[in-house]
Structure 1
Amino acid sequence: MWEIARDTEVLDLNSTYAYTLLCRDFADSSIVAERDGAVAGFVTGYRRPDRPDTLFVWQVAVDAAHRGHGIAGLMLNDLLDHLAVAGVTRLETTITASNTASQELFGSVARRRHSTLTVHDLFAPHHISPEESDPHEAEQLYVIDPA
């Protein structure tokens, strides 16, 4: 997972230890796709403690060799279907303005699920990277709610 995240050159890279903990502690709210015995992609997320009906998606990544086959959308839909049994009806994620691929992905998930997609400003650059030497784009909150 760490290698796939690193190779995207877009995602904020967590430590290998963080990905290991995500797999252990948030296995119910994350998913890994495999093709031919290798990890092809992953979605990491968690149920918000203050809103257990909400899945917050932390990262979505697909290995370059497996992109273009709809794996990311399939993983998100499978994860939402799995969590619906536990009462999850809402999805949240944050996306930067320059990440059009993620914007399109979550838009297509909302359309496929006949859901409502809303976008709100959430974090300004200074909230994420207070050091001017390492600026981070603002993050917008994308919310997918049942229609």
Structure 2
Amino acid sequence: MINNNRLTNLITYRKPNVSDGSMIWKMVRDSGKLDINSAYFYLTMCTWFSESCRVAMDTSKGRLAGFVIGFRQPQCPNTLFIWQIAVDQRYRGNRIASKLLDEVSEHSDIQFMEATITPSNVPSQHLFKSWAIVRQANILTSEGFSKDYFPGRDHEREELFRIGPIKDAIPKIKEEQL
């Protein structure tokens, strides 16, 4: 794991482009934990939905350190839904995931962030809860998708996490304190 103060200077955050799609697909595949979508999905998200996605790049190695994929909900454009977020295991513990959420929610008209998370995905639950706490934003959890909706019934239920309003929340707690 890379963990030092110099790392923050080596990581850049930007909107993805089509050439990032295959790197994101590989990171998801190699994680062994995330639901893998088709390579085409990641290419389209990096092309046509890049405004609501970000990548974290290690500029010293030219390597993808992490990503977040999201989209604005058509019925509720002030809500950003986070589809997937991941950080390469070598970079974990450096608050890259929190910074990715900061970057992707920077638009002034985004008031809420949502994500569905399985009960067993404790790291993601912690990420979204701590991100909300730092911003002094409300976080509500409700039923997202019951396991009955998934084919084969091998998938856990997904709980809906809703954070917001996020623009009215002024961070007073430093993330290092969490």
TM-score normalized with structure 1 length: 0.92
RMSD: 1.1
Distance 1:128 1:29 in 2: 26
Distance 1:128 1:71 in 2: 31
SS in structure 1 opposite 2:164?
Answer: strand
How far 1:56 moved relative to its partner?
0.3
For 2:122, the equivalent position in structure 1 comes to 100
Question: Which residue, out of 122, 133, 138, partners 2:157?
Answer: 138
- Stretches of 4+ aligned residues off by more than 6 angstroms: none
1:120 corresponds to 2:142: yes
How far 1:64 moved relative to its partner?
1.3
For 1:62, give the aligned amino acid: V
Give the structure with the larger strand fraction: 1
For 1:52, give the aligned amino acid: P
How many residues align? The count is: 141
Distance 1:27 1:7 in 2: 22
1:56 corresponds to 2:56: no
Distance 2:89 2:40 in 1: 23
Distance 2:43 2:134 in 1: 31
How far 1:128 moved relative to its partner?
2.0
1:66 corresponds to 2:91: yes
How far 1:40 moved relative to its partner?
0.7
Any gaps of 5 or more consecutive residues in structure 1? none
Distance 1:128 1:140 in 2: 13
Distance 1:29 1:143 in 2: 17
Any gaps of 5 or more consecutive residues in structure 2? 1-23, 170-178
For 2:17, the equivalent position in structure 1 comes to none
How far 1:25 moved relative to its partner?
1.0
Question: Which residue, out of 61, 77, 93, partners 2:102?
Answer: 77
Distance 1:22 1:141 in 2: 21
Spell out, residue by residue over 1:71-127, the C-alpha distance to the aligned partner (whole angstroms, 9 max, x if none). 00110011112x22xx11100000000000000000011011110011001211121
Distance 2:70 2:125 in 1: 17
For 1:21, the equivalent position in structure 2 comes to 44
TM-score normalized with structure 2 length: 0.76
How far 1:139 moved relative to its partner?
0.2
How far 1:142 moved relative to its partner?
0.1
